Amino acid sequence: MKKSLVSYLVKRFLRFDKEQPFIFLSALLAFLGITLGVMVLLIAMALMNGFDKEFKNKLTIMNYPLTIIPKFYGSVNENLLIDLETKFPNLAFSPYVQSSVMVRDGSKLEGGYLFGVNFQDEAKVNTILAKAIKDTHFKKFDVMIGKSLKQEFDLYKGDKLMYIFTQVEPGGLSVTPKLKRFKVNAIFDSGLTAYDKAYSYTTLSALQTMMHMPSNMYDGIHVYSKTPHKDIVKIQAALPMSVSVKGWWEDNLNFFAALEMEKTSLFIVLMLIILIAAINIISSLLMTVMNRRGEIALLLSLGATTAEIKKVFLYLGIIIGIGGILAGMFFGLSGIWILSNFDIVSLPKDVYPTSTLPLDLTLVDFTLIVVGAFFIVVGSSYYPAKKASEVDILTVLHNE
């Protein structure tokens, strides 16, 4: 009987009242506000996670999961490479020599880095490079450049490109920079303009010759690992004191900390939309309480308990709120699916790492959004329900 009374009153109070249309309108606005808040929050979190993941993927490829670097000149050499390949057969290693350079074509100049690598080894640690050098044979002074540099200098395969090395060498009474023309033999596209302009790759022997380095000595070793956070500890333990290893994330700590802070700030700001919508629930229920004071007092005088009256208005708020949450989930997930499967929004590729919207809604974010919205709804429903249960029977019936 008690359950039927509560459910009957909830259904009755949810109906449109011609005499008090503003109460229904306020409840409708609360429903729409929560729907909009949950929908926007789901899509925004999916976008933030998508961009975060996309940037990490790009930075992992071009910065390499792990890099072994020397503390002293000559400490990274062929003996160390052989030792690491023996101890860690599940990892891929690619030795490299590096030099900062200026690229010149006519009157145009562009600064960057030239890497000397063994292309077969480098292809195992860099998927972008592996895709670019497919079925390509490199001679000693051939070079692979990025797509952005190719477009800026209007270069094609077979063209010559002048590299000016920052390391100088004596020439009579003055010092002159090293100059060398390389032949463009391949073009890579990382999706990030900064890397496509700054990074170039040539053969290991070519750069060792230019830098006057022995063939068994390197500036470092690129390492590919699927679990770099775990493997960095193992590798560090196996390295001599003269060598260190760093992960790709160590050069980007501030960048990803900023992204995480931005994501948290966005979550809090958008959650305020749901909170504002919840205020409409409070106002709608309070108006209902004020409008139904006589009925509430009569029900209490006929034997209804204060707990039942409290449940009626608590359920009213929860039904409006949960309805909004479910509708927001439906429209939010639908929006994510549509944006993921249809090229509605196109991003400039020279600014972002991808031309399409990357969306990735994690289970943790989804749960936080739904649970947070639910607690806001319950909290906003409790005060009006408490006020309804505190109606003074004698005063109200006397005035009626």
pLDDT of residue 71: 87
pLDDT at site 1 = 42
Q: What is the pLDDT of residue 47?
A: 86
Largest CA distance in the chain: 113
Q: Is the pLDDT of residue 396 over 80?
A: no
Q: Is the pLDDT of residue 16 over 80?
A: no
Is a pLDDT exceeding 80 seen at residue 169?
no
On the question of pLDDT at 150 being above 70, the answer is: yes
Query: What's the full length of the chain, in residues?
Result: 400
Higher-confidence residue: 1 or 186?
186
Please tell me the predicted confidence (pLDDT) of residue 86: 92
Flag whether pLDDT at 167 surpasses 80: no
For the segment 218-237, the average pLDDT, to the nearest whole number, is 90
Region for residue 186 given its phi and psi (left: phi exceeds 0; alpha: psi -120 to 50; beta: otherwise): beta
* pLDDT (average), residues 266-279: 81
- Mapped onto helix, strand or coil, the DSSP state of residue 246 is strand
3-state secondary structure of 233: helix
Question: What pLDDT does 187 receive?
Answer: 92
- pLDDT band for 189, please (50, 70, 90 cuts): confident
Q: Are 186 and 237 in contact (CB under 8 A)?
A: no
Among the ranges given (70-74, 76-80, 184-188), the one the predictor scored with the smallest mean pLDDT: 70-74
User: Could you report the per-residue pLDDT of 23-63, keeping only the tens digit for each?
Assistant: 677 778 888 888 888 998 899 888 888 888 777 777 766 77
The reported pLDDT for the residue numbered 395 is 63
pLDDT at 2: 47
Bridge partners of residue 184, in order along the sequence: 143
Provide the 8-state DSSP code for 217.
B
Q: Is pLDDT above 60 for 387?
A: yes
Residue 224: how many CB atoms within 10 A of its CB? 20
pLDDT band of residue 394 (cuts 50, 70, 90) is: low
What average pLDDT does range 218-232 have in this prediction?
90
What was the pLDDT predicted at 391? 64
Q: Which residues pair with 181 in a beta bridge?
A: 162
Give the dihedral of Cα atoms 134, 137, 141, 147; nearest 10 deg. -20
- Tell me the β-bridge partners of 66: 223, 247
pLDDT band of residue 144 (cuts 50, 70, 90) is very high
Mean per-residue pLDDT for 332-336? 91
d(CA 274, CA 40): 10
Looking at residue 356, what DSSP letter applies? B
State which H helix or E strand residue 168 sits in.
Answer: strand 160-171
The C-alpha atoms of residue 316 and residue 264 are separated, in whole angstroms, by 31
Identify the pLDDT of residue 73. Answer: 83
Q: Percent of the chain having pLDDT more than 70?
A: 84
Question: Which pair of structure tokens corresponds to residue 311?
Answer: 């449940």
**By the 8 A CB rule, do 76 and 380 touch?**
no
Split at pLDDT 50, 70, 90, the class of 355 is low
Half-sphere exposure of 37 (CA within 13 A, CB side): 30
d(CA 143, CA 272): 54
**More confident position, 340 or 171:** 340
Q: Which two tokens stand for residue 158?
A: 């077979």
Instruction: Evaluate if residue 173 carries a pLDDT over 60.
Output: no
Tokens coding 94: 């690619």
Give Cα 118 distance to the centre of its chain: 33
- Mean pLDDT (whole number) for 358-376: 88
DSSP secondary structure letters along 33-102: HHHHHHHHHHHHHHHHHHHHHHHHHHHHHHH-SEEEEESSTT-SBHHHHHHHHHH-TTSEEEEEEEEEEE
Q: Cα separation of 28 and 40, whole Å?
A: 18
Higher pLDDT, 100 or 391: 100
Read off the pLDDT of each residue in 123-148 and give the average, rounded to a whole number. 88
- Which pLDDT score is estimated for 115? 93
Q: Where do runs of H (alpha helix) occur along the chain?
A: 2-14, 21-63, 78-87, 119-125, 127-132, 147-153, 193-198, 204-210, 228-238, 253-291, 293-301, 306-341, 363-389, 393-399
Please tell me the predicted confidence (pLDDT) of residue 203: 92
List residues bridging with 92 in a β-sheet. Answer: 224
Name the residue with tokens 């029900």. Answer: 299
Tokens of 310: 């409290």
- Per-residue pLDDT averaged across 245-265, rounded? 81
The amino acid that residue 393 corresponds to is I
Count Cβ atoms below 10 Å from residue 363 Cβ, excluding itself.
Answer: 7
Residue 359: is its pLDDT beyond 60? yes
**Residue 88: φ, ψ to 5°:** -125, 70
Q: pLDDT confidence of 268, banded at 50, 70, 90?
A: confident
Question: pTM of the prediction?
Answer: 0.65
Q: What is the pLDDT of residues 304-318, one digit of tens each?
A: 777 777 787 788 888
Say yes or no to pLDDT of 400 above 70.
Answer: no
Average pLDDT over residues 200-228: 90
